[in-house]
């Protein structure tokens, strides 16, 4: 007995419908969303090549209505990232935080998934993108990339341009092994300082290596924050209160600190100040007691590129591979102190870390639990080889200014 085919039922009043439109050569889904304030019926339409595609679009459209978010159809991942960089990081350092994130996005995010519609981006899309980048980037960089996408999407959500944040559903994969930070051993540190003696960067390197200031803290250092005379019980010291970050703020609150200076640093900075005064006078300029400690020959502030370039040349002159960076002087400071017996909690205070965990996990390369003092220890560490030669042997043309 043959079955009688069921008659197609007509959709009830107000129900969603899907039908084929020969003129548009696609399926059409009509969605009932009630009535507008003026009493007119709201029945938007969506289109797709298959009924399944149309059903998914109807579902997403209803979800947008429920959440009150109407994501723009043509709003792309690139739009979201650029909006976040322009509006979501106000007050941040343009050359630092914003510049770093913009560079990462322009190189590794926008060229690969930037054209995707944000509302259509799936967790699988994000996984595939990160897996591809994992062949070229370190794990830390992959995490930074994912953070950019998460924050960009969250910024879009706050502006009703995205209904959900699929980047939160994804975990960054393991990438290539990153370049580990290194620390100079004592012989290497001495070789670098000897090679730097005729250089304009000599006092800068001595201060960085023997006091542990960050390179971003040394560049904006001014003379009114440098105290080279011992007064009573107060030793010679430097007040690290500023950095090249936005508004001159230090990295953390504990980064604002006052550090006693080893005698060698005091001697080098006194010589450096004399040379700077002479250089200013030779150019008909007055020396500014509140001016920058480290400048270019023209008196302009040093930038990171200046320091990196000159430091690489000095390292090469010292007979080492020019792969070291100025920030690794700070790593070396921590490592040398630890090797000489400074306890972890004292090192954390000297380098201005917010916790001992940071010092232990990132900076310290060797652990030696013996008690002593930072500035005095550095005098002992470098005392033997620094007797020979005088900082005054620098040629006037190469004097640090």
Show which residues are catalytic: 214, 251, 330, 353, 363
Q: What is the DSSP string of 134-195?
A: TTTSBHHHHHHHHHHHHHHHHHHHHTTS-S--GGGG--PPP-BPP-------HHHHHHHHHH
Cα atoms in the 13 Å half-sphere on the side-chain side of 117: 7
Torsion of CA 303, 308, 310, 316, to 10 degrees: 180
- Residue 45 contacts by C-beta under 8 Å, 6 or more apart in sequence? 28, 29, 30, 31
Phi, psi of 47 (to 5 degrees): -130, 150
Q: Which stretches within 248-327 are classed as H helix?
A: 263-282, 304-317
Q: Angle of helix 263-282 relative to helix 374-386, nearest 10 degrees? A: 70
Query: Measured between alpha carbons, how far is 335 from 328 in angstroms, rounded to an integer?
Result: 10
- Residue 111 contacts by C-beta under 8 Å, 6 or more apart in sequence? none
Query: Measured between alpha carbons, how far is 203 from 264 in angstroms, rounded to an integer?
Result: 10
Query: Measured between alpha carbons, how far is 338 from 367 in angstroms, rounded to an integer?
Result: 6
Q: Can you tell me whether residue 72 is helix, strand or coil?
A: coil
Strand order of the sheet with strand 257-260? 226-227, 237-240, 257-260
Q: Can you tell me whether residue 48 is helix, strand or coil?
A: strand
Q: Which residues of 81-112 are buried (b: 16+ CB within 10 A; e: fewer)?
A: bbbbbeebbeeebeeeebeebbebbeebbbeb
Distance, CA of 178 to chain centre: 15
* DSSP structure class, residue 62: H
């Amino acid at each position: 007995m043959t079955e009688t085919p069921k008659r197609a039922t007509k959709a009830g009043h107000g129900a969603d419908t899907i039908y084929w439109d020969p003129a548009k050569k696609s399926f059409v889904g009509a969605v009932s969303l009630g009535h507008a304030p003026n009493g007119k019926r709201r029945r938007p339409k969506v289109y797709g090549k298959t009924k399944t595609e149309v059903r998914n679009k109807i579902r997403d459209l209803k979800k947008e209505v429920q959440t009150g978010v109407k994501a723009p159809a043509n709003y792309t991942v690139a739009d979201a990232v650029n909006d976040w960089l322009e509006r979501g990081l106000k007050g941040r350092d343009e050359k630092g935080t914003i510049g770093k994130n913009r560079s990462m996005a322009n190189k590794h995010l926008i060229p690969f998934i930037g054209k995707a519609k944000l509302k259509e981006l799936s967790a699988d899309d994000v996984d595939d993108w990160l897996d591809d980048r994992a062949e070229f980037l370190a794990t830390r960089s992959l995490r930074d990339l994912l953070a950019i996408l998460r924050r960009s999407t969250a910024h879009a959500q706050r502006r009703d341009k995205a209904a959900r944040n699929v980047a939160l559903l994804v975990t960054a994969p393991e990438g290539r092994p990153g370049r580990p930070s290194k620390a100079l051993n004592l012989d290497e540190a001495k070789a670098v300082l000897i090679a730097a003696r005729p250089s304009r960067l000599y006092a800068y390197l001595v201060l960085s290596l023997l006091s542990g200031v960050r390179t971003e803290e040394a560049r904006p250092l001014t003379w009114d924050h440098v105290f080279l005379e011992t007064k009573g019980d107060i030793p010679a010291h430097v007040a690290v209160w500023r950095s090249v970050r936005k508004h001159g703020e230090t990295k953390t609150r504990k980064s604002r600190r006052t550090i006693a200076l080893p005698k060698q640093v005091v001697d080098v900075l006194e010589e450096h100040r004399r040379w700077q005064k002479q250089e200013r006078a030779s150019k008909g300029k007055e020396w500014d007691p509140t001016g920058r400690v480290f400048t270019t020959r023209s008196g302009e502030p040093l930038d990171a590129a200046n320091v990196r370039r000159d430091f690489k040349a000095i390292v090469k002159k010292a007979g080492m591979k020019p792969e070291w960076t100025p920030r690794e002087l700070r790593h070396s400071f921590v490592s040398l102190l630890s090797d000489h017996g400074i306890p972890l909690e004292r090192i954390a205070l000297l380098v201005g870390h917010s916790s001992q965990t940071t010092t232990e996990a990132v900076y310290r390369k060797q652990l030696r639990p013996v008690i002593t003092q930072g500035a005095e220890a550095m005098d002992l560490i470098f005392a033997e080889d620094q007797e020979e030669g005088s900082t005054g042997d620098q040629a006037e043309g190469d004097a640090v200014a």
